[in-house]
Amino acid sequence: MRYILEDQITLITGGSQGLGKQFAQKYYQETINSKIIIISRSENKLRKAVTDIILTATNRKKEEALLENDEQTVHLLEDTRNDIDPIIINEHTLHSTIADHRLFYMPCDLSDYESVAGLFQTLTMVNMLPTQVLSCAGGSTPKLFKDLSGYELESGVRMNYLTALYLSHQVAKVIPNCHLILFSSVTAFFPFIGYSQYAPLKVSLKALVGILRHELPHARISCVFPGNFQSEGFELEEISKPDITKTIEGPSYPISCEECCDKIVWWLEMGYDDITTDFIGWFLMSLDMGLNKHNNRSFLWICQLVIGTLANLIIVPIYMLICTLQIKLWHSRQSHEE
């Protein structure tokens, strides 16, 4: 199944901010016929996201028109700026409204199964079942396991697993031949101290993808393992992240959200389905594959297999000893401080 941006009905969860919003922006700016539906819990955030996306696209077109001295287009775009009315999709949405617009929103609690089922019933009713589904919802609260609250633990499961699980289940039942793109994390390859609220769920998503590829032979199932990228969520993570987590993680130089989105789209267009956004992610995927090859569809997977096997036998044991020593020293310092 070929990945293209044009002539699609694309459903994007987590579409009110971060990478989900960036994907919606890319589809809206770079296509003519595609319909985009963004999903999150907050209707206010969704309406603001729709307005922001349309304004950004309008401003870009206005700049191009100014460069070409096309005053008529500039005036038309000015009128558009002042007349943005975000369109919700529900059971009352008219087909004529859908035909006249390309960007829509639908509030939904994706961690509630009945809400997700209702969302797909509505999409069926208005003849807007997606051809592509991007599950971008999620978020991390990096802390030591003992310092996490019960709410934060539950929130991790809801945001990072249940949202993707329930969405994937409806896709399997209603549109089993679409392109489903799930978003995991590089921590799925190397979970470590500080990510107990996040990494186990991203590992679960990786396992879910493997099973879905067995059970949905007519669908295309992709899994993205992003490294750090600049977003609202990343800024919050840095506030709560323990020092030992930062030490093991090393210096973090997040790429922009736009660059992250562009990289993912490029790899999808190239036909790959297991995607990382930086070299360290690709290398960590190699370690994951080295002694336990699964059905990866990643760039240079044969090289990953060889590198992973050698690294797991020679390099990883030494590196893990270093990590263990760093963690022991950190615990020792913490005990002295107490």
The values of phi and psi at residue 37, to 5°, are -120, 120
The values of phi and psi at residue 329, to 5°, are -65, -40
H-run or E-run covering 276: strand 274-276
> Three-class SS string for 64-128?
HHHHCCCHHHHHHHHHHHCCCCCEECCCCCCHHHHHHCCEEEEECCCCCHHHHHHHHHHHHHCCC
- Give 129's DSSP letter: -
| Diameter over CA atoms, the chain | 71
Q: Which of 184, 196, 222, 286 is catalytic?
A: 184
Exposed, middle or buried, 327 (CB in 10 Å: 0-12/13-18/19+)?
Answer: middle
Q: Which of 185, 198, 231, 263 is catalytic?
A: 198
Q: Which of 35, 62, 143, 202 is catalytic?
A: 202
The values of phi and psi at residue 128, to 5°, are -130, 35
171's tokens: 């896709």
Catalytic status, residue 198? yes
Compute CA 303 distance to the chain's CA centroid, rounded to the nearest angstrom.
26
Exposed, middle or buried, 223 (CB in 10 Å: 0-12/13-18/19+)?
Answer: buried
The values of phi and psi at residue 103, to 5°, are -120, 125
* Catalytic positions, written as ranges: 184, 198, 202
